Structure 1
């Protein structure tokens, strides 16, 4: 494997303080990128930088539901951006549409969709100037079908998939590729407790035959592939990295 695929490039990774975002930031930096790592937790950012002092990681404390935070993140790139990875996300409480309240719905959409839209919108001029910009959004296997993961979360992930495809179509001429990864259960800290009693009996039985929980590093490997020139002919794809969940 070429371990220098991102030498000389600048990346932004959101939700970089933990889970998939952290693993992706470390993988990109390890392959040569200067990585602006954004998270709303100062403690997580401090731990990330302290754990990897030799890597080019540039922390920005940011709640990306706020436009000022988006501006701070992009200012940290110093005018150069080649890769944007949107991993920041949240889940609801597995509530159906009959149960979800407005506050939960609005919060989930603000984080999972609004932050992706705002950062992508602001990053387009920098990615266009790169000449080979790449955006990778982290959606979910819930973006591919109906899901027991809650009405707000599932609807927000379908929105991320739609935003990904729209961006891919409308900005391909700018030299920007936009794709998404759709993980299944991943050891990230974001998931609510996953009890098989919450799932229909047939699905729970089938899931025994596929890997139940991936590592963040497994998903990060797919993200970094999509961001790299190895995927130069891949655009507008929602790529499952779910161990077979989406086949159930």
Structure 2
């Protein structure tokens, strides 16, 4: 693998951040690259080294802080390095020296910042968490630290795209039950199936929560096997495991 690739969003210009893929790590085999997933079947030593490499590429000298992601809607406020990973799917902070990290392998990583208030956030938005309101919870937690929604900018990083995300009728009905207008995030597929636009739905939820600017980066984890890990792609290929990539943000 080449050096660590750090993908940055124009919306977060000036904010220490990065969406990382699989380039630049030390893992091998099906996890080859920058796998940062503690819960994967990868060598723990390699995972630990990859987490150091990822943090160094985005926020040198910062302490990487992550959560035990559960596909929920809880956001935790972090003021110091955490001894244990709380069960949550988003983090916010106003403290320098902390690198907030969110792990994904098709779900949407969302990085947020209010530069004026010096407040940042990171959210893991899979379909369950997105529907439950994980981005709403992140904005609320940032507001409690002094951020204002209209000043918040957000970027949605590499995630499974609509063209790659086939779901069934029952899946669509869950979203339609929450709001009939949600049907616009689904395109017709084969009989009894649809294509879900997770990125567009997350962008919608961010806008509704009052976020001033949202950048959807349009990077498909499923379609780009060289660049990103993908749970669904690994499943479809019958692979024995899969890696996780990380998105990181901190206070500048």
The structure richer in helix per residue is 1
The structure carrying a bigger strand percent of its residues is 2
